[in-house]
C-alpha cells in the first residue's frame, strides 16, 4: 500500500520541480542598470545588407525599447550612441551598452513566397524577407559582456519587406530586454 502511494508523490514532485526549473533560471541580470546606449550594428563586408542597415536597426531598437519602457519603467535614459543624450544625463548611472552584428539580411523572394503558399493553414500569411542579428549586452564601465543572444525575425503577409522584419527584430530585442530586466 505504501509503495503505491510513493510513485504518485514522486511523480508529482518531479513535475513541480521540472516546471519551476526554467522559471528560476530566468534571472534579472539587467536589474541594476538604469541607462541604455544602443550602438549601430556592424554590417560585415560582403553582406547583402546596405551600410545604413546598422544605423537603421539601432534606431528601431531604441524606439522599441522606449516603447516598452513607457509601460514597464525599465530605465531612466535610453539613447542611441552619438544621439542627443548629453554626458550629464548619463553621469552617475549604471549604463548598459547594446551592440550587435547583422547576421542575415534576406529581401523578399518570389520563390519562397510561392513555396509558403503550399503550407496548409498558413499559406499566404508567411513573408519571405528575414533579418537576423547577434546582440551583446555589455557593462559600459567594465567592458564585460553580460549576455549574448541571436534574434532572427521574418516578415509577415502583406508586409513582406526586410524593413518590417527589422521592425520585428527591434521589438524582439525590446522584449528580451524586458525579460532580462524584470
The tens digit of pLDDT for each residue in 16-75 reads: 565 544 444 457 899 999 999 999 999 999 999 999 999 999 999 999 999 999 999 999
Tell whether 60 is covered by a domain: yes
| pTM as predicted | 0.79
Domain that holds residue 99: 33-181
DSSP 89: H
Q: How many domains does the chain have?
A: 1
Higher-pLDDT residue of 113 and 71 is 71
Q: What is the mean pLDDT of residues 110-126?
A: 60
Q: What is the mean pLDDT of residues 145-162?
A: 91
CATH number at residue 75: 3.40.50.10610
Tell whether 2 is covered by a domain: no
- Tell me what the pLDDT averaged over the chain comes to: 85
The fraction of the chain above a pLDDT of 90, given in percent, is 63
Least Cα distance to 128 among 172, 165, 166 occurs for 165
Tell whether 9 is covered by a domain: no
Tell whether 160 is covered by a domain: yes
Tabulate helix, strand, coil % of the chain (nearest 5).
45, 25, 30
> Tell me, what's the pLDDT at 149?
97
Tell whether 173 is covered by a domain: yes
Structural contact between residues 37 and 96, judged by C-beta atoms closer than 8 angstroms: yes
Tell whether 132 is covered by a domain: yes
Whether the per-residue pLDDT at 120 is higher than 80: the answer is no
Range 64-73, long-range pairs (CB < 8 A, 24+ positions): 64/167, 64/170, 64/171, 64/173, 64/174, 65/36, 65/38, 65/173, 65/174, 65/177, 67/174, 68/174, 68/175, 68/177, 68/178, 72/178, 72/181, 72/182
> Tell me, what's the pLDDT at 32?
95
Tell whether 22 is covered by a domain: no
Residue tagged 548598459 (cell numbers): 96
Higher-pLDDT residue of 154 and 158 is 154
Tell whether 28 is covered by a domain: no
- Stretch (H or E) spanning 26: none
Amino acid at each position: 500500500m505504501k509503495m503505491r502511494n510513493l510513485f504518485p508523490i514522486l511523480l508529482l514532485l518531479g513535475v513541480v520541480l521540472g516546471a519551476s526549473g526554467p522559471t528560476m533560471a530566468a534571472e534579472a541580470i539587467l536589474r541594476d542598470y538604469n541607462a541604455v546606449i544602443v550602438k549601430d550594428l556592424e554590417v560585415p563586408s560582403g553582406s547583402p545588407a546596405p551600410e545604413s542597415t546598422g544605423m537603421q536597426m539601432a534606431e528601431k531598437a531604441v524606439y522599441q525599447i522606449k516603447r516598452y519602457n513607457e509601460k514597464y519603467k525599465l530605465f531612466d535614459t535610453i539613447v542611441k550612441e552619438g544621439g542627443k543624450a548629453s554626458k550629464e544625463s548619463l553621469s552617475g548611472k549604471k549604463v548598459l551598452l547594446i551592440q550587435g552584428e547583422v547576421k542575415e539580411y534576406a529581401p523578399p523572394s518570389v520563390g519562397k513566397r510561392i513555396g509558403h503558399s503550399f503550407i496548409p493553414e498558413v499559406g499566404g500569411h508567411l513573408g519571405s524577407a528575414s533579418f537576423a542579428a547577434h546582440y551583446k549586452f555589455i557593462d559600459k564601465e567594465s567592458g564585460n559582456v553580460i549576455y549574448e543572444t541571436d534574434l532572427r525575425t521574418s516578415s509577415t503577409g502583406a508586409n513582406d519587406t526586410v524593413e518590417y522584419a527589422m521592425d520585428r527584430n527591434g521589438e524582439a530585442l525590446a522584449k528580451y530586454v524586458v525579460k532580462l530586466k524584470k
